[in-house]
């Protein structure tokens, strides 16, 4: 997955342009820039690649989620449905706006289970947020139907899935809003960065204003810009955008490597009849950044994960015990541990997660191993790795 594995001349050239002009800010300083508008170029290239009307780049994926939600008017007391398997940024962005994160079970796609989503919809629900974890998606048609039926927004967290698609459309472009992360370990990296894509002019207009203190960006005089509403600073710098611009131009090259390495590993693991792969919904194509599979029992999965590590096979994750990605270890959320005083809406409305039953999620997560697919691995290295993995697991099953 990480694009940083393949930094090269393109990244250097783009960054050098920015340093030569000295303008690290995405707005203004027109006379000094030598015509370099790296963030704008990144936005145009991303919108085009994602077949989306608008793209707005920001400082991180977390910022993208926060900006996307606020651009659609999500705020205090609104409920946002998200999966039990995600990254902590999902609920951070929701809580930052005073909205309520409603955790919902996953299924064998390792993302939102549409049936569980349907059950979780209330009068306060505003958004359904599928998270395309490890490069693959939920059954988005089913989720779209639920959203249409109840008048909800579909917001795709595609932070880990850039380049994947669903019925021919790029992941991120299917919902009302889509978010990407370009942090240091993502398929395309800016160092730190993110982006929101949408076909809604209103959301786009809100997004670029909100992420720059509410400035309306009309005219050339920064100091004279009006403030139609309160905002924040989620701006990306030109240096970061320059790296991302080079990386985005290499997306297809990266995806081809990921697909090659994923396929080698998948074909090898298919020799083990006890292994079942994560379900990719009909019409979906992963971005091949991870290969995720289930073993028959939790006990066996834990043993296999340990044995892989002990045999020096890095990059295999057992998310069930992971602090960052699974609800079990999120006591800061479930116990509402906050530095400051939280908005009353959140205190009043957060579900009692200590009583929640996520056994349906546990059933899948407890048996899941996800293997990171690195860009730097050659075909030969990948084959050796795959053989080593197969023999390690075969000894246990
Ligand atoms: C990385 C990630 C984010 C947050 O992105 P940052 O750029 O690190 O803030 C959000 N959601 C998911 C699923 C992620 O993997």
Q: Where are the domains of the chain?
A: 3-250, 252-394
- Architecture field, domain 3-250: 3-Layer(aba) Sandwich (3.40)
How far apart, in Å, are the Cα atoms of 25 and each of 38, 181, 236, 248, 378?
Answer: 10, 20, 8, 20, 38
Q: What is the dihedral of CA 49, 51, 52, 54, to 10 degrees?
A: 40
Q: Order of strands, edge to edge, in the sheet holding 165-166?
A: 169-170, 165-166, 284-285
**How many CA atoms within 13 Å lie on the side-chain side of 329?**
12
Does residue 66's CB lie within 6 angstroms of at least one atom of ligand 1? Answer: no
Does residue 159's CB lie within 6 angstroms of at least one atom of ligand 1? Answer: yes
pLDDT score recorded for residue 267: 98
pLDDT score recorded for residue 266: 98
Cβ neighbors of 196 (< 8 A, separation 6 or more) are: 55, 56, 58, 64, 67, 68, 71, 177, 178, 179, 203, 204, 207
More confident residue, 132 or 2: 132
- Candidate from 160, 182, 330, 372 with most ligand 1 atoms within 8 A of CB, to mutate: 160
45-64 pLDDT tens trace = 999 999 999 999 999 999 99
pLDDT score recorded for residue 2: 83
With residue 164 as reference, give the H or E element that holds it.
none
CB environment 60-87: b (16+ within 10 A), e (fewer): bbbbbbbbbbbbbebeebbbbbbbbbbb
pLDDT score recorded for residue 221: 87
Secondary structure letter of residue 311 according to DSSP = T
- Nearest 5 degrees, angle CA 293-CA 333-CA 319? 15
Does residue 68's CB lie within 6 angstroms of at least one atom of ligand 1? Answer: no
Does residue 194's CB lie within 6 angstroms of at least one atom of ligand 1? Answer: yes
Single out the residue of 42, 358, 16, 3 nearest to residue 196, CA to CA: 42
Of all residues in the chain, the percent with pLDDT exceeding 90 is: 96
Q: Does residue 127 carry a pLDDT above 90?
A: yes
Lowest mean pLDDT among 12-21, 340-349, 380-389: 340-349
With residue 372 as reference, give the H or E element that holds it.
strand 368-372
pLDDT score recorded for residue 1: 72
217-242 pLDDT tens trace = 998 888 899 999 999 999 999 999 99
Single out the residue of 132, 119, 78, 67 nearest to residue 101, CA to CA: 78
257-298 pLDDT tens trace = 999 999 999 999 999 999 999 999 999 999 999 999 999 999
Q: What is the CATH code for 252-394? A: 3.90.1150.10
- What is the Å distance from ligand 1's center to 155 Cα? 14
139-173 pLDDT tens trace = 999 999 999 999 999 999 999 999 999 999 999 99
Atom of ligand 1 nearest to the CA of 65: 10
User: What is the distance between the alpha carbons of residues 111 and 396, in angstroms, rounded to a whole number?
Assistant: 28
Tell me what the mean pLDDT of segment 103-131 comes to: 98
- Please name the residue whose Cα sits nearest to atom 3 of ligand 1: 61
User: What is the distance between the alpha carbons of residues 60 and 211, in angstroms, rounded to a whole number?
Assistant: 11
Atom of ligand 1 nearest to the CA of 183: 7
Write out the two tokens for 255: 């995806």
User: What is the distance between the alpha carbons of residues 38 and 239, in angstroms, rounded to a whole number?
Assistant: 8
Catalogue the active-site residues: 186
Alpha helices (H) along 32-176: 38-49, 61-71, 89-96, 114-120, 140-150
pLDDT score recorded for residue 223: 87
Confidence band of 121 (pLDDT split at 50, 70, 90): very high
User: What is the distance between the alpha carbons of residues 21 and 93, in angstroms, rounded to a whole number?
Assistant: 34
Write out the two tokens for 158: 């595609």
10-36 pLDDT tens trace = 999 999 999 999 999 999 999 999 999
- What is the Å distance from ligand 1's center to 157 Cα? 8
- Nearest 5 degrees, angle CA 375-CA 377-CA 382? 125
Tell me what the mean pLDDT of segment 247-253 comes to: 97
- What is the Å distance from ligand 1's center to 289 Cα? 14
Tell me what the mean pLDDT of segment 93-118 comes to: 98
Average pLDDT, the chain: 96
Tell me what the mean pLDDT of segment 174-184 comes to: 98
Instruction: Say how many residues make up the chain.
Output: 397
Q: Does residue 354 carry a pLDDT above 90?
A: no
pLDDT score recorded for residue 202: 98
- What is the Å distance from ligand 1's center to 115 Cα? 25
pLDDT score recorded for residue 382: 97
User: What is the distance between the alpha carbons of residues 245 and 42, in angstroms, rounded to a whole number?
Assistant: 5
Sole residue written with tokens 């834990």: 302
- Candidate from 4, 64, 183, 196 with most ligand 1 atoms within 8 A of CB, to mutate: 183
Enter the pTM of the model. 0.97
- What is the Å distance from ligand 1's center to 184 Cα? 10
More confident residue, 219 or 211: 211
DSSP assignment string, 195-234: EEEES-HHHHHHHHHHTBTT----SS-GGG---SS---B-
Residue 319 has a CB neighbour count (10 Å cut-off) of 19
């Amino acid at each position: 997955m990480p694009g940083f594995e393949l930094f090269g001349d393109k990244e250097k050239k783009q960054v050098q342009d920015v340093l030569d002009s000295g303008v690290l800010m995405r707005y203004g300083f027109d006379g000094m820039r030598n015509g370099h508008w790296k963030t704008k170029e990144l936005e145009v290239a991303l919108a085009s690649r994602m077949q989306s009307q608008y793209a707005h780049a920001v400082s991180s994926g977390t910022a993208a989620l926060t900006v996307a939600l606020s651009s659609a008017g999500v705020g205090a007391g609104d409920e946002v449905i998200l999966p039990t398997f995600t990254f902590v940024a999902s609920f951070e962005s929701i809580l930052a706006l005073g909205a309520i994160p409603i955790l919902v079970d996953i299924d064998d796609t390792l993302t939102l289970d549409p049936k569980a989503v349907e059950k979780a919809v209330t009068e306060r629900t505003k958004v359904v947020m599928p998270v395309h974890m490890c490069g693959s998606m939920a059954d988005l048609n089913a989720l779209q139907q639920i959203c249409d039926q109840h008048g909800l927004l579909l917001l795709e967290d595609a932070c880990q899935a850039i380049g994947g698609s669903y019925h021919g459309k790029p992941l991120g472009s299917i919902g009302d809003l889509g978010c990407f992360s370009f942090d240091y370990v993502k398929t395309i990296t800016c160092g730190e960065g993110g982006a929101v894509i949408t076909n809604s002019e209103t959301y786009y207009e809100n997004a670029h204003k909100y992420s720059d203190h509410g400035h309306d960006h009309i005219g050339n005089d920064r100091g004279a810009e009006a403030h139609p509403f309160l905002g924040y600073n989620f701006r990306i710098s030109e240096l970061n955008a320059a790296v991302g611009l080079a990386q985005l131009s290499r997306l297809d090259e990266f995806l081809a490597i990921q697909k090659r390495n994923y396929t080698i590993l998948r074909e090898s693991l298919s020799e083990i009849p006890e292994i079942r792969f994560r379900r990719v919904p009909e019409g979906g194509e992963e971005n091949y950044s991870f290969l995720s599979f289930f073993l028959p029992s939790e006990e066996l999965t834990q043993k296999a994960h340990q044995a892989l590590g002990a045999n020096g096979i890095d990059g295999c994750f057992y998310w069930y015990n992971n602090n960052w990605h699974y609800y079990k270890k999120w006591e800061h959320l479930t116990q509402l541990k906050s530095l400051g005083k939280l908005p009353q809406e959140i205190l009043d409305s957060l579900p009692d997660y200590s009583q929640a039953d996520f056994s349906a999620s546990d059933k899948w997560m407890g048996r899941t191993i996800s293997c990171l697919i690195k860009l730097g691995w050659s075909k030969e290295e990948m084959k050796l790795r795959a053989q080593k993995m197969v023999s390690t697991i075969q000894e246990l099953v």
